Structure 1
Amino acid sequence: MKTKVRTSGGMPGPWPSRGQGRFPRRSGSSGTVDDVGLSRRGLLQAALVGAGGIALGGALSGCATPAASGSGRTSVMIWDLFSGGDGALMQEMVGAVAQANSDISVDSTTLAWGAPYYTKLAMASSGGRPPEAAVMHMSRLAGYAPGGLLEPFDLDALAELGITQDDFAPAVWEKAQFDGQLYALPLDTHPYIAFNNPAIAGDAGLLDADGLLSIAPGADAFLDAGRAMAEVTGETGVSWGYLRDPAGCWRMFWGLYSQNGGAYDLTPGKPAEIDEQAATEVFEFLQAMVDGKVAATNQDGGAASGRFMSNRTGLMFAGEWDLPMFRDAIPDVGGTPFPTIFGQPANYADSHSFVLPKQAHADPAKREATYRVLAGLLKEGLTWASAGHIPAYQPVVKTPEYQELTPQRDYAPAAEVAVFDPDAWFTGGGSDFQTRMGDSMTDTLSGKASPKTAVDRMLSEMNRFLSQPSPA
């Protein structure tokens, strides 16, 4: 196994849509890319897709796939966006898979995530010289699959390696589809969940007989629970930092909006449609929560985490990828899916997945080896779960070893009610869309503007994106 680190990065059910369909294709588009060269127009399209349609950002050149080594082993290059602890775990998994497949040389390359990563991946795919496989947030799939930047997976080939649809949560499998084919192979589900301090939650009477956080459904019940924890701490009950964290704002809003039954229509060239009443109710709840008693006002993510880890709040809204940090401070930290504030359970989530970038001249031996490597990585999911991620490959979740992991086993059901970013070429993890959506909410969350102001600003930003033609 060879490991290259280009730059340091970080990371960190089907959504009802009206009139859009999944990943709509523009009229007159063939959905393919040229197999030779990279035209100026193609270069610009790839750059726009990778950067979320706003700016290039980062290096534009891609890494050429290396030839098979002189040892006779088949070379497989994989790009990923994992650094820090996640990066170390991924390299451990790659090493295990490489050891189990001595006829394959795995070349694992890490690049910075966000616009630079996705720009580089789009450029490499457009040029026909990408890696054999790459990691992609599944929320970015809508910007890649429709334009022919990716190739679909062969379900029969995956089945021969023990990977089938039945091995994944339906919501996750559905999100991995485009045009009736599988374009992403999910590695995990990483949801936005509720961590808790069992000592504080227990003193507030919010733990069930199994020691799990138990809050009755409904906004009023949650606010009451927050006040009960505030009585225990003498300060506030809930940690949530929204200042300078637009992605966190978006995750919170979109999950709650889904719980409230909100639908959307983001059709390019048409005005955006969302359920304005449902969205307004979400902001009314958030304003009630950020009242200085349930949750602190004007707080950023660092302050929120600090308060939680220093026993000054009993509950923290965060991504499950923060588990290692919280467990260092609170060894018995608990975790559960996002509380049901509105009518139906739903949990905002994304998914790290493997994709097959478009190859100008596909090599059957490399493709067969790539499938073996990716299937092996999915089956190493227990290692990946140690960082907090929920393995997408459910046979791992069902193992006794995984069921001994706490609190991972307790919030694993979040994958069953996962909701992802809306399907549009400009949405997804690390996109400018998330940033602009979060920025639209800040004044309202700070109490400086009404809930309607946030809704109006979000619609205005959505319309700005929709007025731009999709590069794909």
Structure 2
Amino acid sequence: MAIENCGRSPQAATSRRNQASSDSNSTVTSRRALLGASGAILAGGLAGCAGLTGGTVSGSSNDDGSDDIQLEYWLYFGAQENEEMTSLVNEFNSQNNGITVNTQSVPFNNFLTKLFAAVNSGSAPHIASYYGSYGRHLEPICNPIDDYLSKGTKNKYFQVAWNNHQVNGQTYALPLDIHGKALYTNDAVLEEAGVDPDYTDWQSFSDACDAIISETNSNALSMLNGRAGQSALRAYIIPLIQAGGQIVEGEPDNYRVTINRGAGQKAAQLMADVTGRFGWDKQTFQSDFGRVNDFLNDDLGMLIEGTWGVNNFETEDGDLPEDLSFGFHKPFMFPGNGEDIAWAESNSMYFPRNDAHSDDEIQAAVKFAEYVTQNNTSWASAGGHLPAAKSVATSSEVKNTDLWKKYGTISTMYDMVTSGQVEYQPRTSIHLNSNQYWLPLYEMYLQNIDVGPALDRIVNSLQPALSNQ
């Protein structure tokens, strides 16, 4: 399974302006020189939603010499998130409370396949991280945990996150965070174009995009940063809901896919127009990080990207370029009579079935998950996500981060969450993010297929899969 970029770019792209720079853009040239010299947004592996990780956290014994309950935890986090989760695991293990957690890194592309195989072979771990919207898909291989939860646990998390971790009235996972997509704006490009758009009005926004094209050498807007169908799905959901549509209609056991007409078609046409009729974005992908590099090089004015995307801007020292000035806005500019809603998701902790796991081990696994999800203040700065536990999200440690105070990425997501302006993708029994369903959206965005055929192809593959759940 291809994944959406959630980490640092391996290198800064050569920009169009860099080929013919002048004194008038000496600031831009300076940053480009810095990026090239330092290998900014380089190395360190992937950060954000998913990536490759390495190593394990080894077990230990209690001070009295008795053996701990040994728990196995599978995760897919990379770079900053991997470091933060390792710290949380070590912190938990150091409490000498009779529980020791050992981690195993599993490549994200193989995570679901390996997890299902492990359950079928009786070798599943006690805990496994995956997306919160996947509860219905993972329900057949995971334990519900309501009987193991501490009193009042439900009230410790934001309601939208808690609700999306319920399947048939039972809790199957605990959320680490809430992350979502919004709009990054490059202040230098907007200033050069002489625009200050209203991000809640399509006419104002589209006029600003046109001005960027006519007044600068930059592209105006990219809705897609990543070559996977999952990336295209997440981008599409935003204009779709604002146009008044949904991915599916009906109940989980009788979902109907209707995106090839009405609001679904309008949202897809708008998405295709960004690279087509509007000419706001290019029709090629040189690399998974090409749009990020364009944004950093002042060759792109606006970018639909996740809260974790700010990590992509960092230099190899973990700092944001000093002369990079950007904004982060709710992406509520799309036309239509729908709601001001954006896509959201959670990294979450599930509890796979294994007959060899004792009741005490399941209880210990839930205790660990409660600890991690309710004590992860640095998860915000590590991954750029809003912690899902309310007390953590509103703690002074989180509110004093630059991502909350200076850049506004986490605080904007907090406002969206508390205002009811985020929505998770449909919880289905199928692997909904699969390329087999959504790659036509990616091809449509690059003008390789027309809107109608792209949507028909999606419906003709997705509807039978949902009907056979």
1:426 equivalent in alignment to 2:421: no
Q: Which of 350, 355, 368 is the matching residue for 1:373? A: 368
Using the TM superposition, give the Cα deviation of residue 242 of structure 1 relative to its aligned residue in structure 2, in angstroms. Answer: 6.2
1:389 counterpart = 2:392: no
1:15 aligned partner: none
Counterpart of 1:77, as a letter, is E
TM-score (norm 2): 0.74
Structure 2 equivalent of residue 326 of structure 1:
313
Shift of 1:128: 4.2
Q: Counterpart of 1:341?
A: 334
Q: Distance in 2 between matches of 1:276 and 1:164?
A: 42
- Where in structure 2 are the equivalents of 1:41-440 lying within 5 Å? 71-114=66-109, 116-145=110-139, 147=140, 149-154=141-146, 157-159=149-151, 164-201=153-190, 215-230=198-213, 233-241=216-224, 244-263=227-246, 264-265=248-249, 272-274=257-259, 276-291=261-276, 295-300=280-285, 301-328=288-315, 330-331=321-322, 332-342=325-335, 343-386=338-381, 387-405=383-401, 406=403, 407=408, 408-415=410-417, 416-428=420-432, 431-432=433-434, 435-440=435-440
Give a deviation string over 1:114-171, Cα, whole Å, max 9, x none.
3x211222233334442221111123222121x2x11112267333xxx633332322
How far off is 1:11 after superposition? Answer: 6.4
| Contact 2:223–2:271 under 8 Å retained in 1 | no
Aligned equivalents of 1:222, 1:11: Cα separation in 2: 26
Alpha-carbon deviation of 1:202? 5.2
**Counterpart of 2:300 in structure 1: which amino acid?**
T
| CA–CA separation in structure 2 for the residues paired with 1:206 and 1:80 | 43
Distance 2:4 2:262 in 1: 36
Runs in 1 of length 4+ with deviation above 6 angstroms? 66-70, 266-271
Alignment check: 8 A CA contact 1:233 1:311 kept: no
Deviation (angstroms), 1:352: 0.9
Distance 1:226 1:181 in 2: 46
Per-residue deviation at 1:261? 2.0
1:182 to partner: Cα distance:
0.9
Residue identity in the other structure for 1:235:
S
C-alpha separation in 1, matches of 2:258 and 2:91: 48
**Whole-angstrom distance in 1 between the partners of 2:182 and 2:255:** 34
CA–CA distance in structure 1, aligned partners of residues 303 and 235 of structure 2 = 12
Alignment CA distance shift 1:269-1:181 (3 Å): closer
Shift in Å, 1:322: 2.4
C-alpha distance in 2 between matches for 1:112 and 1:173: 27
1:130 corresponds to which letter in structure 2? A
Q: Does the C-alpha gap of structure 1 residues 100 and 341 become closer, same or farther in structure 2, counting only changes over 3 Å?
A: farther
Q: For the Cα contact (< 8 Å) 1:262–1:278, is it kept in 2?
A: yes
Is the aligned partner of 1:461 residue 2:455? no
**Amino acid aligned to 2:386:** I
Contact between 1:354 and 1:374, CA under 8 Å: does it hold in 2? yes
**What do residues 432-456 of structure 1 show as CA deviations (whole Å, max 9, x unaligned)?**
2xx1333222453344554322222
SS at 2:103 equivalent: strand
TM-score, normalised with respect to structure 1: 0.74
Deviates more, 1:290-299 or 1:316-325: 290-299
The answer on whether the counterparts of 2:272 and 2:447 sit within 8 Å (CA) in structure 1 is: yes
437-446 vs 298-307, which moves further = 437-446
Q: Which amino acid aligns with 1:175?
A: N
> Per-residue displacement from partner, 1:50-109 (whole Å, max 9, x unpaired)?
xxxxxxxxxxxxx9xx99887422222211111233212211121122223443211111
- Map Cα deviations across residues 298-356 of structure 1 (whole Å, 9 max, x no partner): 13243222210101122211222222122436455432333341431111122110111
Identical-residue share of aligned pairs (%): 19
Q: State the alpha-carbon separation in 2 of the partners of residues 453 and 10 from structure 1.
A: 24
Would the aligned equivalents of 1:241 and 1:302 in 2 still touch at CA under 8 Å?
no
Partner SS, residue 185 of structure 1: strand
Structure 2: any 5+ residue segments left out of the alignment? 7-55
The 1:259–1:136 alpha-carbon spacing in structure 2 relative to 1, beyond 3 Å, is same
**Contact 1:184–1:353 (CA<8 Å) still a contact in 2?**
yes
**1:418 counterpart letter in structure 2:** V
Q: 1:368 to 1:142 in 2, by over 3 A?
A: closer
* Unmatched segments (≥5 aa) in structure 1: 1-8, 13-62, 208-213
| Cα distance in 1 for residues equivalent to 2:253 and 2:365 | 35
Task: Name the amino acid aligned to 1:397.
Answer: A
Match of 2:31 in 1: none
Q: For 1:388 and 1:97, how far apart are their aligned partners in 2?
A: 22
For 2:134 and 2:299, locate their aligned partners in 1 and report how far apart those are by CA, in whole Å.
Answer: 37
C-alpha contact 1:79 1:135 (8 A) present in aligned 2 = yes
